[in-house]
Amino acid sequence: MKLGKILVTSAWPYIQHVLHLGNLLPILSADVMARYYRLKGHEVLFVSGSDVHGTPVEVEAVKQGVSPKELTDKNHELVVELFKKWAISFDNYTTTESPVHKEFVMDFHRKVAENGYVFTQESELPYCPNCKRFLPDRFVEGECPYCGYKGARGDQCEQCGRLLDPTKLIDARCSICGASPLFRRTVHWYFDLPRFSDQLREYITNNKQFPDNARNFSLRFIKEGLKPRPMTRDSDWGIPAPFEGAEGKTLYVWFENVLGYVSATIEYFKTHGDPDRWKEYWFDKDSKVLCFIGKDNIPFHTIIFPALLLATHEGYNLPWNVSTNEWLNFEGQKSSKSRKIGIWIDEALEMFPADYWRYTLMANRPETSDTNFTWKIFLEKINSDLNDTLGNFIHRTLTFINNYYDGKIPKPEKLDDIDRKMLDAISEYFKEIDENLSYFHIQAATRKVIELAREGNRYLNEKKPWKTIV
């Protein structure tokens, strides 16, 4: 049987800071699945990259007094090294400043515009008289008109996940200087998203892989009525908007970073001397595109990205699954760099080996609701699960063979009921773990591996092979 190709992707992290453990979840989940599919014999390509554009980076660069390019060049190098230390098995981890990406994105949007899905519209947008600039996205903060969250940003409320329009923010202020913005008229290019409502509803409803959180959020979003989305920003940092008359405007990050899944595939095959093979991943109908994201990225992956792919009329594969994790809190609180809450991926490795964290994170992967990282749980996972159960089982078994059989696997004796029960347990667990992973239930799979080791310990205690040997 020919196994289909699988493109594994994880959301492109903004790299205004190094990532914290919560930010790592989609990347780590993608790595687990990429490794699993490779072992199963699939042809796998695992791609992602640093999202170096966008206002989070710009705001942080302004705060640090450096250019966005300086900030992101430095951080990109840093996270590339860290991902190696975490054993994230990327085939291509690139950046949104890559020439291949920029060229692909501009060509792509020219096509979307040619197909008639882009129109211009004048609107009033927040402008800071102090900083003398428009305030796109994270440059403006205020209260969310839907849920009342005080720190909502111009493009999205972190609390309720809804996409926002900066004019709707209550008590808006400039996130650099705190001034109340003026509203100035400016022209922007819009993507005609509502025209895809029916196709998207059908795609989401028929997709059997989507986890409930992604499906429910997306269907509600469509039901509330899709609106045209502005694709451009009055900002210098980003990919130039490739539309006629749009000089000086750049593309909104979410209209280019998701296209990075395609451009990173192109880049991979270009550098490997096979420039056309990327098409096998994006157009062959037995290939699958698999996205791993955190829940704040749902609408961009289930709505905007598929709509953009549809808008080319070229028959791109749409995401086969968008595996979405909930939040990982730290001792009951949201991770926050400024408030020093949480653990960052560089610090973690200074404390303990990567596998200790990988195991703890996957055994607590927040799949259906938020989970909590506590030191208590960490100690339990490492000491009881890894050390006492898994480590002990492997070590005692190998030491036993080394001590009593000169390190050679002995000839099996006649099987009794206990042996047969253990053999059954092995195939049963193996089947379950396989099944869990094929449904993206990574947390359950991780836990079952340990349970199998627990069965192994129980078996050894029951059989006491050291007694019969002497």
Partner 1 sequence: MLEPFIPFTAKRIRKYLNLPAKLPWEDAVEPLKEGHKIKAAKPIFEKINLSEEKLQEMLEEVRSSMQKVSFKEFSKIDLRVGKIINVERVPGSKNLLKLTIDIGAANPKTAVAGIAKYYKPEELLNRQIAVVVNLEPRKIFGIESEVMILAAQHGDNVVFIQPEKPIAPGSKIR
Site residues (vs partner 1, CB under 8 A) = 31-33, 35-36, 39-41, 87, 89, 340, 343-344, 346-347, 350-356, 358-359, 362, 374-376, 378-379, 382-383, 386-388, 390-391, 394-395, 398-399, 401-402, 407-412, 426-427, 430, 433-434, 437, 445-446, 449, 452
Tokens 């509502």 correspond to what residue?
A: 194
Residue 72 tokens read as 């992101």
Q: How many CB atoms lie within 10 A of CB 99?
A: 9
Q: Are 87 and 31 in contact (CB under 8 A)?
A: yes
Q: Are 105 and 259 in contact (CB under 8 A)?
A: yes
Q: Give 32 or 140: the residue with its C-beta nearer to partner 1.
A: 32
- Shortest distance (Å) from residue 352 CB to partner 1: 7
Q: Which residues contact 450 (CB under 8 A, 6 or more apart)?
A: 363, 385, 386, 389, 390
- Shortest distance (Å) from residue 396 CB to partner 1: 9
Q: Give 184 or 431: the residue with its C-beta nearer to partner 1.
A: 431
- Residue 7: strand pairing partners: 45, 289
Q: Are 156 and 174 in contact (CB under 8 A)?
A: no
- Shortest distance (Å) from residue 434 CB to partner 1: 8
124's enclosing H/E stretch is strand 118-128
Q: Give 36 or 254: the residue with its C-beta nearer to partner 1.
A: 36
- Shortest distance (Å) from residue 430 CB to partner 1: 5
Phi, psi of 240 (to 5 degrees): -55, 135
Q: Give 85 or 220: the residue with its C-beta nearer to partner 1.
A: 85
Q: Give 16 or 446: the residue with its C-beta nearer to partner 1.
A: 446
User: Residue 267 and residue 283: Cα distance in Å, rounded?
Assistant: 16
Residue 422: CA count within 13 A, CB half-sphere: 16
Q: What is the DSSP letter of 230?
A: E
Question: Biggest alpha carbon distance in the chain?
Answer: 90
Q: Give 351 or 418: the residue with its C-beta nearer to partner 1.
A: 351
Q: Give 163 or 401: the residue with its C-beta nearer to partner 1.
A: 401
Q: Give 318 or 426: the residue with its C-beta nearer to partner 1.
A: 426
- Shortest distance (Å) from residue 84 CB to partner 1: 12
Residue 7 tokens read as 């493109």
- Shortest distance (Å) from residue 398 CB to partner 1: 4
Residue 463 tokens read as 């059989």
- Shortest distance (Å) from residue 378 CB to partner 1: 7
- Shortest distance (Å) from residue 95 CB to partner 1: 22
Phi, psi of 126 (to 5 degrees): -65, 135
